[in-house]
């Protein structure tokens, strides 16, 4: 046996042993996925205030209520896809980590399926029966607080869309009692 063949056989055995060992260790003790750190209410409120005040117009100041709808999990669009012709059926979006975003194509009053008196927040949902995470709820509360500030309303009527209302067992026609988040505790 020549030296090159012996080297390749040795390396092959080493690779097979290392692969087998790592597979065995992964099967015995799989590492849990690293959870994303939950943003604090103050950080998310700062983000929400910036988003809400960015393009707030005359017609938006007439918003009297907020509708929280469920949406698919999507990645944030990259900058080269900014020129899309599709119009969003929501004004704001909360991702899986609880961070708020503004819709690229702001829904108009006609044809978008959004009542002109309602600000619509779409919350990303992993599965059809999964509720919002705590981080997402913080994002929703921050957006509602920022909308209250900008519209000058003491409290906008907040309603859950059909799919969220089914998950939580609420009537979608009855507004939620949205108390401000107590961010004084750790």
Number of neighbouring beta carbons within 10 Å of residue 162 = 9
CA–CA separation, 186 vs 182, rounded Å?
Answer: 10
| pLDDT tens sequence across 170-180 | 898 888 887 65
For 41-77+85-168, CATH gives 3.40.80
Most confident of 31-40, 43-52, 82-91: 43-52
Mean pLDDT to the nearest integer, 31-43: 74
Average per-residue pLDDT for the chain: 79
Q: What is the pLDDT of residues 141-182, one digit of tens each?
A: 999 999 988 887 777 889 999 999 999 888 988 888 876 554
pLDDT at position 37, please? Answer: 73
- What is the domain partition of the chain in residue ranges? 1-30, 41-77+85-168
d(CA 114, CA 71): 14
The pLDDT assigned to 82 comes to 47
166, two tokens: 């089914």
For residue 106 the two structure tokens come to 């702001």
The answer, as to whether pTM is greater than 0.75, is no
- Which of 134, 116, 113, 124 is closest to 68 using CA atoms? 124
Nearest in space to 71 (alpha carbons), one of 134, 136, 135: 136
């Amino acid at each position: 046996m020549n030296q090159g063949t012996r080297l390749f056989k040795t390396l092959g055995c080493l690779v097979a042993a290392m692969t087998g060992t790592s597979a065995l260790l992964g099967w015995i003790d799989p590492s849990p996925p690293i959870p994303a750190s939950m943003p604090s209410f103050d950080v998310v409120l700062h983000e929400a205030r910036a988003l809400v005040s960015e393009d707030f117009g005359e017609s938006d100041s007439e918003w009297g209520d907020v509708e929280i709808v469920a949406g698919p999990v999507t990645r944030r669009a990259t900058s080269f896809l900014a020129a899309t012709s599709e119009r969003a059926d929501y004004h704001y979006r909360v991702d899986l980590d609880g961070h708020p975003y503004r819709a690229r194509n702001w829904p108009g009053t006609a044809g978008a399926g959004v009542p002109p008196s309602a600000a619509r927040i779409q919350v990303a949902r992993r599965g059809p029966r999964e509720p919002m995470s705590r981080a997402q709820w913080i994002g929703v509360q921050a957006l509602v607080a920022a909308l209250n500030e900008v519209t000058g309303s003491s409290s906008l009527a907040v309603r859950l869309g059909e799919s969220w209302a089914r998950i939580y067992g609420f009537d979608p026609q009855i507004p939620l009692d949205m108390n401000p988040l107590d961010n004084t505790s750790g």
